[in-house]
Amino acid sequence: MEMIFIFIIYFVIGLLASTLGAVAGLGGGIIIKPVLDLFGHFDLPTIGVLSAATVLAMATMSLVKFRKKGHKTDKVVSSILAVGSIFGGILGKVIFNIIAISLNMPTVTGFIQSATLALLLTLIFIYFIKKDKLTSFVFKNRLIILTIGFILGFLSAFLGIGGGPLNVTILILLFSMNAKNAAINSIYIIFFSQLSALILIALTTGFSSYDLSMLVYMIIGGIIGGFIGSSIVIKMSNTQVEKIFNISILVIIFVNIYNIVNLLY
């Protein structure tokens, strides 16, 4: 009975994170990572795998839904960002593995992740409050776009978050997309970054050393969440998407702060 309850909890985590992730372009990893940190059932490398697999399932379902409904992504910008994020993600994962696994410093890594994430999300939240007063840009140089994607991929892989909030913010600030289009394009980028992260693990360490007992339940939640979230966002306005994004970011900031306090004490 207790195990069934645990299965349900992890299914619900995957479902809710993926639904919010698909609606606001968050991806879901930004929610899954701090929540699983909070539960403390798995080590950091395992959390990274669970998060990546769930987010990939969500992104796949969302993209299928968007395609059927005729919602197109800016494939030129998003594809270049995705390529950059793949290479950046490889470097980010390598550095994460060195610190968390090779040097065996999971507590230090967890603290760096939570503190960096809390800081980045706070800056993103402030940006969205002030963004109407700030200038947005339209970058067209492909090398610059590739470099931006590399940085996004590096941060996302090291922090284990899938990159959603960073993607959305950059797409609005540097490519002048509205919140809804940024959310949809963010899912496109996330699909490739998470796929590459899992392929990298498969080709290097393999999955045998990870505790993936909750993987199936979280992936099922990710698929259903991707379907629900993508169905919702299609019907929403830019303002509604933005509000959900801001509320989600604020909640995640507080969860990360709580995790930092737990690590310190």
Per-residue pLDDT of 13-24, as tens digits, reads 999 999 988 888
At 1, the pLDDT band (50, 70, 90 cuts) reads low
Q: Quote the pTM value.
A: 0.86
Yes or no: say if 16 and 225 are a contact pair by the CB < 8 Å rule: yes
How open is the CA angle 44-214-13, to the nearest 5 degrees?
A: 80
Q: Which two tokens stand for residue 32?
A: 């899954």
Q: Which two tokens stand for residue 165?
A: 């909030």
Q: Which ranges constitute the DSSP H helices of the chain?
A: 2-24, 29-39, 44-68, 75-97, 106-130, 142-159, 164-175, 179-203, 215-235, 238-264
Q: What is the pLDDT of residue 37?
A: 87
In whole angstroms, what is the distance from residue 201 CA to residue 196 CA?
9
Tell whether the model's pLDDT for residue 265 goes beyond 80.
no
In whole angstroms, what is the distance from residue 244 CA to residue 252 CA?
12
Query: Between residues 219 and 24, which one has the greater pLDDT?
Result: 219
In whole angstroms, what is the distance from residue 244 CA to residue 100 CA?
33
In whole angstroms, what is the distance from residue 160 CA to residue 42 CA?
14
At 95, the pLDDT band (50, 70, 90 cuts) reads confident
Average pLDDT over residues 170-181: 88
Half-sphere exposure of 244 (CA within 13 A, CB side): 23
**Coil/strand/helix, residue 138:** coil
Q: What is the mean pLDDT of the chain?
A: 87
In whole angstroms, what is the distance from residue 80 CA to residue 65 CA?
22
Question: Which residue ranges make up each domain of the chain?
Answer: 2-264
In whole angstroms, what is the distance from residue 59 CA to residue 21 CA?
9
CB burial of residue 242 (10 Å; 0-12, 13-18, 19+): buried
Percent of the chain topping pLDDT 70 = 99
Yes or no: say if 7 and 214 are a contact pair by the CB < 8 Å rule: yes
Q: Which two tokens stand for residue 110?
A: 């967890």
Q: Which of 5-9, 109-113, 174-178 is predicted least confidently?
A: 109-113
Longest dimension (CA), the chain: 57
Yes or no: say if 25 and 245 are a contact pair by the CB < 8 Å rule: yes
Q: What is the pLDDT of residue 264?
A: 80
Q: Which residue has the tokens 């402030």?
A: 126
Number of H helices and E strands in the chain, helices first, is 10, 0
Query: Between residues 19 and 135, which one has the greater pLDDT?
Result: 19
